[in-house]
Amino acid sequence: MGDDVPKDQQGPPPAEAAKPETRLKGHLGHLTHEEETAFEQFKKLCIKEGLYTPATDEARASHDDGTLIRYLRARKFVPQDAFAQYKDTELWRKENDLDVLYEKIDIHDYQEARSVYPQWTGRRDKRGIPVYLYEVGKLDSKKMVAYTSSTSKSKVKGPSPTRMLRLFALYENLTRFVMPLCSAVPGRPNPETPVDQSNNIVDISKVGLKQFWNLRSHMQDASTLATAHYPETLDRIFIIGAPSFFPTVWGWIKKWFDPITTSKIFILSHHQVLPTLTSFIDIENIPRKYGGHLDFECGQMPVLDPQVRECLTILPGPDAETYFLSAPVRWIEAGEDEEMTALSVGSLDGKERKEPVATLHSLAVRVATHSSNFQSQRTQTAVPNSRPTTPHSHAVSSKQAPKASRPVSLDQAAPSSRPASIQPAPAVNLSTISIHERSVPASGSLQHPLANGGPPEKIFMPPPPVQIERTKTEYVTPAEDPAEIKQLA
């Protein structure tokens, strides 16, 4: 076990893949002239259909550039193709009321979902991209039966299956909490480019053939949702610990995923694990069981790296750090000092939460918003706003750079204003910790209360997009007994 790698997926990615300039192709701040032109055309299409509102002197853009550019990358910078996917996603979000769902999701449901999907280690790779860990062997039949039963009893209902709505909240945590935080930390390479992807270590050691087969729909859900509605949030997946039968079954396993996802999967033999991981990730940020120095396993709280921790003040109070790292959170601007506040949302025992749990300091916020300012100066577009105008709205001038699209202030905490940029968020070991049973004090040397903290008094919701027909996303479960699995018997 450990050296059983399919020949068509043999070995690590090429050495140049670890270089920042390789990842930066097609990203903000590093667009070619043709890509910038496509970006402008894409924005015009979105504005025409009322699905995007550009920034003005009085208001920020409805969507940040980092979110928009992901759709273009996913569709090879063909504006019409990118717009079709973007429109489908926007209407899917409205159809399922997803912004409200993230604000109200039961925290216990959220934690259960996080326990069965990839979990943020609290660390980043050498390029500043968050590193997630997924230990598939821990998803035994007992755990998965309990999770399936829990989703069937959930009070959250919508056009999409309940299991997909829970999974959605994990992707929201990635794009609205983890990625903005990683983008904001000073000292990373290429700060002009926001972090909008994740790096994943997937450990499949001690996984049997039957367990693989039983998990097929569970794994396919994540791939389906990411491909359809969170495109280009995956940088790469390193699969380690492949069992002896893996080369035989890889042919039908990769059919569970779309071609774009499979192209980012690299299956490492035992002797390739540490050399490959250290080419992308500093050794102190690699879990010990894979040869690194980090004490982290799935089920634990994320272990924030020192650079991230220095930018934060986790507010004192019962369970503040637990909520910060294990509950649904989004960033909002705290005031004129340009510091940002992490707002813990979701509901607990039927009561909605909107409580500040941490502050991101102004230096980091300036780093985070630099990329928006940088790109706005390069991709300004003089186009009319087709949405219903307000007394303060007007068209963007080609001679005037719009304001950066940042999280809004506390008194305008609009859930739909999503910070710049899946894989799903970290998990707490639910068998050993409960937010009702354990109080985690604030840590570090930056402990002080938020100067102007407190939950927002109201939620401002912008007008919804105009009614447009969309192509419904289908979630498909594979056949129960395909020919391939019979041949393995």
Contact 202, 118 (CB under 8 A): yes
Q: pLDDT for 72-119, tens place per residue?
A: 999 999 999 999 999 999 999 999 999 899 999 999 999 999 999 999
- DSSP per-residue string spanning 435-481: TTT------SS-----TT-S--S----PPPPPP---PPPP--PPPSS
Burial degree of 30 (CB within 10 A; 0-12, 13-18, 19+):
middle
What is the C-alpha separation between 20 and 235, in angstroms, rounded? 12
Select from 240, 246, 287, 310 the least CA-distant residue to 268.
Answer: 240
The predicted structure's pLDDT at residue 162:
82
pTM: 0.76
Select from 303, 132, 166 the least CA-distant residue to 234.
Answer: 132
DSSP 411: G
The predicted structure's pLDDT at residue 305:
92
The predicted structure's pLDDT at residue 377:
45
- In tens digits, the chain (489 residues) has pLDDT values of 445 665 555 567 877 777 777 789 999 999 999 999 999 999 999 999 999 999 998 888 999 999 999 999 999 999 999 999 999 999 999 999 998 999 999 999 999 999 999 999 999 999 999 999 999 999 999 999 999 898 888 777 778 888 888 899 999 999 999 999 999 998 899 999 999 999 999 999 999 989 988 898 898 888 889 999 999 999 999 999 999 888 888 888 888 788 888 889 999 999 999 999 999 999 999 999 999 999 999 989 999 999 999 999 998 877 788 888 989 999 987 566 678 899 999 999 889 989 999 999 866 665 555 444 444 444 444 443 333 333 333 333 333 444 444 444 434 444 444 444 434 444 444 344 444 444 333 333 334 443 444 444 444 445 544 554 555 555 444 444 445 444 444
Beta-bridge partner residues of 348: 351
The predicted structure's pLDDT at residue 17:
76
Tokens for 488, please give them: 């393995």
The amino acid at residue 144 is M
Q: Give the up-direction half-sphere exposure of residue 232: CA atoms within 13 A in the CB hemisphere.
A: 23
Q: How far from 121 is each of 188, 276, 311, 325, 433, CA to CA, in Å?
A: 18, 18, 17, 10, 17
Phi, psi of 37 (to 5 degrees): -65, -45
The predicted structure's pLDDT at residue 474:
52
Give the strand order in the sheet containing 355-360. 312-314, 355-360, 340-344, 329-333
The predicted structure's pLDDT at residue 419:
42
Select from 463, 374, 354, 460 the least CA-distant residue to 409.
Answer: 460
Beta-bridge partner residues of 234: 198
Contact 108, 214 (CB under 8 A): no
Q: Give the CA-trace dihedral at 406, 410, 416, 417, to 10 degrees.
A: -10
